[in-house]
Copies of this chain bind each other. A is one copy, B any other.
Amino acid sequence: MFPTKKVQSLIGSVVQVEMKGDKHILEGKLESADEYMNLHLVETYEIADGVKSRSLGSVILRGNNIIMLCPVG
């Protein structure tokens, strides 16, 4: 399964996403994703030192600034 198809397969699941910038990690439910890996997450939290630190709700992430995406749990 191609990487972008793998991302599609995670829609509806909780994912962790590491963005560019200072150790910027987000966790949320993947609502949608397109071929560029632009993502729409809901029930999103910022993760600091491994724990949820700040609630962000609904966020859109620009695909080219994603370093890494992992399924959670």
Binding site for B on A (CB under 8 A): 1-4, 6-7, 19-24, 26, 31-34, 37-40, 56-71
Contacts and interface: CB of A to CB of B under 8 A. Distances in A.
Top 3 A-B pairs, shortest CB-CB distance:
A3-B38, A3-B40, A60-B69
A1 B58 CA distance: 13
Contact of A4 (B20, B38, B57): B38
Contact of A60 (B6, B56, B62): B6
Given A2-B32, A37-B38, A40-B1, A24 B67 contact: yes
A67 B64 CA distance: 9
Contact of A64 (B26, B33, B59, B62): B62
